[in-house]
Structure 1
Amino acid sequence: MKTKQAYIIAEAGVNHNGSIEMAKRLIDVAADCGADAVKFQTFRADKIVSRGAEKAAYQKRTSGAEESQYTMIKKLELDERSHEVLLDHCRRRQIQFLSTPFDTDSLNLLADTLDLPYIKIPSGEITNAPFLLAIARTGKPVIMSTGMSTLGETEQALGILAFGYLGVDNLPGQEAFAQAYCSAEGQNIVRQKVSLLHCTTEYPAPFDEVNLQGMDTLKAAFHLSVGFSDHTPGIAAAIGAVARGASIIEKHFTLDRNLPGPDHKASLEPGELKEMVQAIRQVELAIGQGAKIPAPSEAKNKTVARKSLVAARPIKKGELFDVANLTAKRPGTGISPLYYWEWLGKAADRDYVEDEMIGV
């Protein structure tokens, strides 16, 4: 997916707290703020986490340590009907509905039943080979986050996707994945179907661990469209990523950071989301086309800001111009000081008063 402007995904995630009405309000906020898409998360707790799994450290901080990860996310599931309602609400608000699947049933709902235009692969699934293969076999383009991964792990994931997209008959396996990725057909299909997001999987992510230059590394290594999934506080990193060429920006947002739930604390509030979108669009305009030439708006300021050769003191006709009687002052409507040395030693063709332009 390649656009002239960065594709801005407002990540609602599970910040709906299990409420369809809150989810619809999040869609409204994302649309009002000018985001291109609003993204949720689709999962069945029974399919993705064991009942005794602990929460991540940030989840313990934001939603308590007493409950298990399973109990926490079970309350945040959205059923099929909820997805249909939210998809319809997005259509009315003219914003793209997206969701991240975490299991094959959820993938089938998004890819087949709802027929979403592309699938978002979260960082945690980049080593989940069977799931990546199932995603590729839907034929849908993907946006894959690369948090916690090395270049080698990213390449392995791309090999699995290439194998799945090509629909080859070979048995799945590391050698088959590598062959698919290294083939001309595999490289071509990956370029057509896959965008990568650089990401630091921590909530909030420390600025000194964000490493925006990692986007450059991903682009150089894989020659794919590359963006940034931002988990830092505020909007500075997302804006910096766009200035470095990010084609996609993904950012968590919430109605209120004080709401209960695992991700609210590391999310933007509505006013901040709007500010981020506006700042990104301004930065895109400011990036320009690269040639170092005067902008149209500058033309009128040349004569005001630049200087001309003028008499530094009164000069008599026939007197030679020298460093004592010739200087440069505004406005720039006369002879440019670029020609200063060509005038030294010439005889004045007439009398000049102080500050009078030379040769005019």
Structure 2
Amino acid sequence: MPGTTGDTWLHDPRPGAPCTVIAEVSQAHDGSLGMAHAFIDAIAATGADAVKFQTHIADAESTPSEPWRKTFNSQDKTRYDYWKRMEFSESQWGELKAHADDKGLLFLSSPFSLTAVELLKRVGVAGWKVASGEISNFALLDVMLDTGLPVILSTGMSPMAEIGAAVARIQARGVPLAVLQCTSMYPCPPELVGLNLIPEFRTRYGCAAGLSDHSATIYPGLAAAANGMDVLEVHITLSPEMFGP
């Protein structure tokens, strides 16, 4: 059963390893450290293998006047304000990492700036999850590759040429790689999940492959796991009634 072995692809990247199940918190904690810890407790109880956050540092990736692409609350006047409210200090990230360790979860967080990569290197991560929007950010990718840690690459909105360029750069460094099919819709309807691309990525690139699931249901992940994928990332919430983007 995925998520219960402690010997999955991310624990030990190798052909045929059991599927790694990653519970993606993202910004569902809404800037609350206590809520982030509550997510770790809840995720550990499910049998997932890893907890993943996103590390946004407002001063490193935004400007005070950056407007919203789509406003979803009146609390944050700009995207900068939102990213600032989502930030944790390095010591707080360390507390979250220690909590994940204590619960037997691998700890991951997607960086969105060079500053975030350096912070996460100090905190300690099990590998690097490259967000879809950073797939062609080679300056960021190269710093991650320097650590030698496994890389999980999301591919939302990227054409094959862009995916192939990132894959070639990673494989040239000999770093373990998993490529995830990702459809950048929230929620993603079943007919657009794209499970057919998981075996295509495995064959085309000769690496592990999986799914970043935005469907808000359990079914695409179950179908993909039953067909032998290596990594499943699922966006989670403690309740669909919780506030958030």
| Separation in 2, partners of 1:220, 1:65 | 46
The alignment status of 1:124 with 2:107, answered yes or no, reads no
Find the counterpart in structure 1 of residue 231 from structure 2: 248
CA positional deviation for 1:92: 1.6
| Separation in 1, partners of 2:169, 2:62 | 23
TM-score by length of 2: 0.88
Are the structure 2 counterparts of residues 221 and 64 from structure 1 closer, same or farther at C-alpha, using a change threshold of 3 Å? farther
The alignment status of 1:87 with 2:97, answered yes or no, reads yes
The alignment status of 1:258 with 2:241, answered yes or no, reads yes
Are the structure 2 counterparts of residues 31 and 110 from structure 1 closer, same or farther at C-alpha, using a change threshold of 3 Å? same
| Separation in 1, partners of 2:189, 2:49 | 26
TM-score by length of 1: 0.61
Contact 1:12 1:253 in 2 (8 A): yes
Choose 1 or 2 for highest CA Rg.
1
Contact 2:63 2:80 in 1 (8 A): yes
Q: 1:108 aligns with which of 107, 118, 138?
A: 118
Q: Which amino acid aligns with 1:220?
A: T
Instruction: Give the number of the structure whose residues are more often helix, by fraction.
Output: 1
Gaps of 5+ in 2: 1-12
**Equivalent pairs: percent with the same residue?**
33
Find the counterpart in structure 1 of residue 6 from structure 2: none
| Separation in 2, partners of 1:88, 1:41 | 17
Q: Which amino acid aligns with 2:216?
A: P
The alignment status of 1:33 with 2:46, answered yes or no, reads yes
Contact 2:97 2:124 in 1 (8 A): no
Contact 1:136 1:162 in 2 (8 A): no
| Separation in 2, partners of 1:259, 1:70 | 22
Question: Which digits, 9 at most, give the CA deviation of each residue in 1:273-330, with x for residues without a partner?
Answer: xxxxxxxxxxxxxxxxxxxxxxxxxxxxxxxxxxxxxxxxxxxxxxxxxxxxxxxxxx
Contact 1:55 1:65 in 2 (8 A): no
Find the counterpart in structure 2 of residue 280 from structure 1: none
Find the counterpart in structure 2 of residue 137 from structure 1: 146
Gaps of 5+ in 1: 166-188, 263-360
Are the structure 2 counterparts of residues 231 and 92 from structure 1 closer, same or farther at C-alpha, using a change threshold of 3 Å? same
RCO higher in structure (CA 8 A, sep ≥6): 2
Are the structure 2 counterparts of residues 66 and 17 from structure 1 closer, same or farther at C-alpha, using a change threshold of 3 Å? closer
Q: 1:18 aligns with which of 31, 36, 39?
A: 31
Find the counterpart in structure 2 of residue 210 from structure 1: 193
Contact 2:76 2:82 in 1 (8 A): no
Q: How does 1:342-357 map to 2 (within 5 A)?
A: none
| Separation in 1, partners of 2:214, 2:67 | 21
Matched residues, number: 232
